[in-house]
Structure 1
Amino acid sequence: MKKINITYLIMLVATVILSSCLGDLDVEPIDPNDATSNNVFKDELAYKEALAKIYASYAISGQDGDGGGNPDIAGIDENFGNYLRQYWGLQQLSTDEAIIAWDDATIKNFHWQTWSPNDVFIAALYSRIFYTVTIANEFIRNADDALGSASGTFASDLEAYKAEARFLRAFSYWHAIDMFGNVPFITESDLPGAFFPQQIERADLFNYIESELLDMEMSLPAAGTNEYARADRGAAWMLLAKLYLNAEVYTGTERNTDALTYLNNVIAASYSIDPTYENVFRADNNLSSEIIFPLAFDGTNTQQYGGMTFLLHASNGGGMPLNGIDGGWGGIRGIKDLADKFDASAGDFSSADPEFSTIADQRGMFYYDPSSWVWDITNVGTFTEGVGVTKFKNISSDGGPAPNAHPTFVSTDFPVFRLGDAYLMYAEAVVRGGSGGSLSTAVNYVNDLRERAYGDASGNIVASELTLDFLLDERGRELYWEGHRRTDLIRFGQFTNGSYIWEWKGNVQTGATTDSYRDLYPIPSNDLNANPNLVQNDGYPQ
């Protein structure tokens, strides 16, 4: 099997309805056969299995792993409430890269940027973030207890496992600081018992995440040496670099020099640019030398209608090639503003070549059949208005079936961090004035990516062309649909009330600016009402 072996344990937080009384989660299930912390951590192997549950919390949302009605969090559909599915939606649907046709609850509000504090999708992601934080805290607390008597190989393994759990907690807290700003804050020091967590200021949470990553860095395996889909120092360096590159948004103080310090570490490690861009997004992308940290999916072993199964099925329909799945759901697609970045227009596509196979920048993987699709979106609810995106595929790099192929559930991993992103982050940090990098090196890194995209030097740029405007567009070309766009647009001042508008932004077909307070999502109403310590983000009803 190509993936990390995930054992789906029921941790202390067996089935929860998330509220701010997080201590209430620390009760034992009535059924004595259900696992709790009293018997989950019964032997050395159990710690690795429990660690796998934390990793699994990003990919699947239940105890059985098949979307079959045994969810981690009661009150949220197991497939709808999937961590990656909701994270992707909030990061992508609100931008110039994706729009959705469905009428599920308030889902269309994201591209329109008209969401409210009682939005079920916002609450679902918020719940997933703090579920992962909670089970990471429980793991760390139990690992600390065990380290008092552990020795030999088990002690060293346990230290490494604990570092990975701390990384995953920091990773989820990064999602919290990026999307929600000031949030409830709990660590392993908050012992079981009902209480209302305090709200931490965004800048203070930044300092906490930074200190955690710096403290645990050397306890993680060296970059590129851990088991596939597990965190190592390369993942920690990338998360630090992400934190520092966005520091001015999070704290008001830029940290571009610090970002370059850790980007240099990443670039000097064992990763390398995959010679074929498309292979980074195929079902055997676990073989790619470019991926630093993925979320692993497997058609046999991680079966759920969220995650990558959602991303591949929901983006298919209207005659698009199936690329290893058994049918499309006709939900998410791109808009013309995304295709514009590749200099692609409706006239470039034909019924004979609906994927525009001769596009100069081969990173642009689209589908548009002019006999059945419409370029300009007049009805958001019609899937075939817009442009299809075929970037992710459930087939192998040789065109054959996916590993552990399944007709519905996919085996394509989601690349959270990869070297191509590090190259563009390096260039941006240099252009923004950071020390520790050079403009000539930045241009070379950008051109490395563009030569892969064009197949030659015809798309190369010179130093005078390496501007922030260029980099925002280039990040769109290199990284579209990889869960970065909302964060990027905010960092560049273009998400809400900047000068950049796109189709149906602001619920206007031609696009309109929106209020800048929407650079943050609101604290969900249910948590705000449950916890008297919480204050709503500015601009939203208190």
Structure 2
Amino acid sequence: MKNKYIIAFMVLTISLSGCTKLDEKLNGQIGNGGINSGNVADLLNASYKAMRSPYQGPFGFWSLQEFPSDEAIVPTRAGDWDDNGAWRALHLHRWEADHTRISSSFRDLNGVSYAATNVLLYNPTPVQGAAARFLRAFAQFSILDGWGQVPYREPGEDVSLPSKVRKAPEQIDYLISELTAIIPLLTDGPNYFANKDAAKMLLMKCYLNKGAFLNRAVPTFDAADMAKVIALADEIINSGKYQLTTNYFDNFAPNNDKLSKENIFTAQNIGGSDAGDVKNMWVPPLHYNQNPNGYNGFATLSDFYKKFEAADQRIGGAYAGVTDISGVKVGFLIGQQYNEKGIAIKDRRNNNLIFTPEVSNVETDPNHLEVAGIRVIKYPIDYVNGATDKAENDWVYYRYSDVLLMKAEAQLRTGLTGPALTVVNSLRTFRGASAFGSLTVDNLLDERGREFFWEGVRRQDLIRFGKFLTPWQEKAVDNPRNLVFPIPDNQLTNPNYIQNAGY
């Protein structure tokens, strides 16, 4: 049974300017007193809750990882989903420093970093302190990934001064050192709290992405770093605590805390009372006439969908507790849509609701507006809690399959092609896909796409594999500046920032 967090977190709607709004609105979060000051358990729980805004659901940092990639698109459907071009700008790589999603994600990720830092002011136990440091490292890794430079304060620093900023070389070294130090202090679980294996996975990601963070245009992969990835993976594998889950979508189900054998780090959601924004993983893609009533927005691209074999269980299908209630399947929704009685659903023009592979950034044909684009349901819908914003599905940050594929990638990049192929084929066979005859960086990238579609990692993968600037469906020419996001305009009052090149 899930345990409730001690308190609900007051949402950090803050500005992170170096010496003005940040300091005014984060007083209690940086150690000058304020709400919950001195109660370490409360402050630590508040740090977990702070992660909901940037991470849970598709409107925070997830949107910056998925919509600029070959996996996801938000077509403008006449007047729907226009939003002043913000969604199109993400997919077309035409964002600027005032982009709303870039600004809010930067703010909210830094909110996690500062909230976790605040915990360290109040004499936490070694376990509590290590957990806070892990959450801070987790958020700072995302900031480094997105923006290439990371603002920070040490506990108790003068908040009237601008926050300091670490550039990529210093920040990646800091993260590696910090995670190495805290791993022995962390607990072994549960997976919805900071734990040793989650920290090991984050450390693996630091070593694997190090060369990309230092040179995004031409990523490099140091053999010693890849050896670290392999060694950390083996520690997790040899622990015997995890295995691949028989039904892939059980990892994301409303009771995934019980069904999943491979989730290593999650965000706990308690159905009906204390949950993050998981519902927006199914409401924006679904049509207005489906159950629940959707927003008819998010879709994937046909070229990405074609990467799956028909027998690959990750492509989806009927799911008990979902399809029998609403007719909605999990995975990729394509073609005629039906209700739970098998009756064809109509669109608002009384045409059959047939989701098409064809989709464009701007849809103008009135007969195609409502059906353009294959839809994606990664998290099985929680109808027990009304498919609302109080869904039970724990949000998934890290899974065991990522340990396997990171190990295979590190092996491949150091010439251990045979062992890498064995690891990848063991996963593919388990998922119902045919075995590869050989392993290359290209089909490994495709495999990561199949395994982690719509999990908020695609942009990072495309950059590390040197593919982010290549044209793909509905995205043509590109600009190297887009390998990092701009520092938001409203943060540049901090003189320690240097705006990223090209913005």
SS state at 2:120 partner: helix
CA distance in 2, matches of 1:444, 1:4: 41
Per-residue deviation, 1:383? 5.0
2:16 corresponds in structure 1 to: 18
* Mean Cα deviation higher: 98-107 or 284-293: 98-107
CA distance in 1, matches of 2:265, 2:28: 34
Change (3 A) 1:461 1:125: same
Change (3 A) 1:50 1:439: same
One-letter amino acid of the structure 1 residue matched with residue 113 of structure 2? V
1:298 is aligned to 2:265: no
Matched ranges for 1:75-474 at <5 A: 85-101=59-75, 102-105=81-84, 106-143=86-123, 158-188=125-155, 190-222=156-188, 226-252=189-215, 254=221, 255-269=225-239, 270-287=241-258, 288-303=260-275, 307-317=277-287, 322=291, 326-343=292-309, 359-364=310-315, 365-369=331-335, 371=352, 372-378=354-360, 380-381=362-363, 382=369, 384-395=371-382, 401-402=383-384, 407-433=388-414, 439-454=417-432, 459-462=434-437, 465-474=438-447
SS state at 1:141 partner: coil
Per-residue deviation, 1:121? 0.9
RMSD: 2.5
Change (3 A) 1:405 1:299: farther
SS state at 2:265 partner: strand
Deviations 1:121-155 (A, max 9, x none): 100000001111111111112226xxxxxxxxxxx
Change (3 A) 1:9 1:389: closer
2:343 corresponds in structure 1 to: none
Change (3 A) 1:516 1:26: closer
- Matched-pair contact (CA < 8 Å) for 2:28–2:37: no
1:509 corresponds in structure 2 to: none
- Matched-pair contact (CA < 8 Å) for 2:14–2:26: no
Change (3 A) 1:378 1:38: closer
Per-residue deviation, 1:241? 0.5
Q: What TM-score do the two structures reach when normalised by structure 2?
A: 0.83
Per-residue deviation, 1:272? 1.2
Deviations 1:16-73 (A, max 9, x none): 33322244445469xxxxx97367245xxx3222211111112258xxxxxxxxxxxx
Change (3 A) 1:407 1:90: closer
SS state at 2:83 partner: coil
Tell me how many residue pairs correspond in the alignment. 449
One-letter amino acid of the structure 1 residue matched with residue 413 of structure 2? R
Per-residue deviation, 1:373? 3.0
CA distance in 2, matches of 1:25, 1:264: 44
Per-residue deviation, 1:461? 2.2
Runs of 5+ consecutive residues of structure 1 not aligned to the other structure: 30-34, 62-80, 145-157, 344-358, 396-400, 506-511
Per-residue deviation, 1:233? 0.6
1:518 corresponds in structure 2 to: 482
- Matched-pair contact (CA < 8 Å) for 1:181–1:250: yes
Runs of 5+ consecutive residues of structure 2 not aligned to the other structure: 76-80, 316-330, 337-351, 364-368
Deviations 1:83-122 (A, max 9, x none): 8631110000111111113122412210111100011110
- Matched-pair contact (CA < 8 Å) for 2:186–2:195: yes
Change (3 A) 1:232 1:291: same
Q: What TM-score do the two structures reach when normalised by structure 1?
A: 0.77
